[in-house]
Amino acid sequence: MNNIVSLKWLLARMYEPDIVIVDCRFLMGKPDAGRELYEASHIPGAVYMDLEKDLSAPVEEDGHGGRHPLPDIFDLTVALSRVGIGNESRVVAYDDQGGAMASRLWWLLKYLGHEQVYVLDEGFTAWVNAGFPVSSEQKVLIPAKFLAEVQHSMLAEMAEIQERLGDESLTLIDSREAPRYRGEVEPLDKVAGHIPGAINRFWKDGLSESGAWKDAASQADRFADLDRERELVVYCGSGVTATPNVIALQEAGFTKVRLYAGSWSDWISYEENPIAKGDEESPSKA
């Protein structure tokens, strides 16, 4: 599957009328930084969508739904329409965070039934370093009509995971860095550890040393020990950095891939949920 497009691909098509370029830059802990970066300089014609204001719902007091709950479908549809994304648009999302924020928009659009959405390889800094054009001018927004066809099969709910712990037909993939997965450190959430039975595949291992996405064969190598017939559920801390792993798994040819959107921060909001620490072995192929 082709979910990633190159800098040169976008350069050649950036002014085509059905292309909508979305700047998704966002810095955790600095909620205004992404928009400020966008206002200073962005790919010409790009619109801005904010991780927390546009691509997430407000955090619940009890923590249910996690640190970045999925946005309300109606609210998200309105936000997409407002920036000019319609059902016929080809959407290219970029960030400067290894593709994590752009992948969140990619996943949400796929979840709403929109197929023509891509993540820009390498990101904004690479675009600048290539000498490609930038602008501080903000595009005049012309709303578009966006009708959602929600793909519920892309989503895994907490209750199902709770019920299927230990189920050999389901593989949980934790996308966080290994020390967080093992429960040795936890800089963001109240409890350290991982969901029992989950294996660890750090999402940034899907990128090369230069920050480019690895090709399909290399992504397949990352997941070579996994059974393609098993259901896969991917999670991270709050449902954002799991989405690059969803893309990587699709690029590698896996078809039974779902996202646990609330992720670890949702899981630990239920006191009865068990917690594991240390490493876990990958499930052997059937």
Identity of the residue numbered 163: E
CA-CA distance, 174 to 153, in Å (whole number)? 19
- Active-site annotation holds for 236: yes
Sheet with 170-174, strands from edge to edge, namely 199-200, 170-174, 231-235, 257-259
Strand ranges (E), the chain? 4-5, 19-23, 47-48, 90-94, 117-120, 170-174, 199-200, 231-235, 257-259
Q: What is the DSSP letter of 153?
A: G
Find the Cα–Cα–Cα–Cα dihedral 202, 95, 103, 147, rounded to 10°.
170
Half-sphere exposure of 229 (CA within 13 A, CB side): 5
- Please list, residue by residue across 74-112, b when 16 or more beta carbons sit within 10 angstroms of its beta carbon and e when fewer do: eebbebbbbbbbbbebbbbbbbbbbbbbbbbbbbbbbbb
- Is residue 117 packed enough to be buried (19+ CB in 10 Å), middle (13-18) or exposed (0-12)? buried
- Is residue 68 packed enough to be buried (19+ CB in 10 Å), middle (13-18) or exposed (0-12)? buried
CA distances, 55 to each of 35, 69, 86, 88, 223 (Å): 14, 9, 16, 20, 28
- Please list, residue by residue across 19-34, b when 16 or more beta carbons sit within 10 angstroms of its beta carbon and e when fewer do: ebbbbbbbbbeeeeeb
Which of 7, 20, 80, 236 is flagged as catalytic? 236
The residues that are catalytic are 236
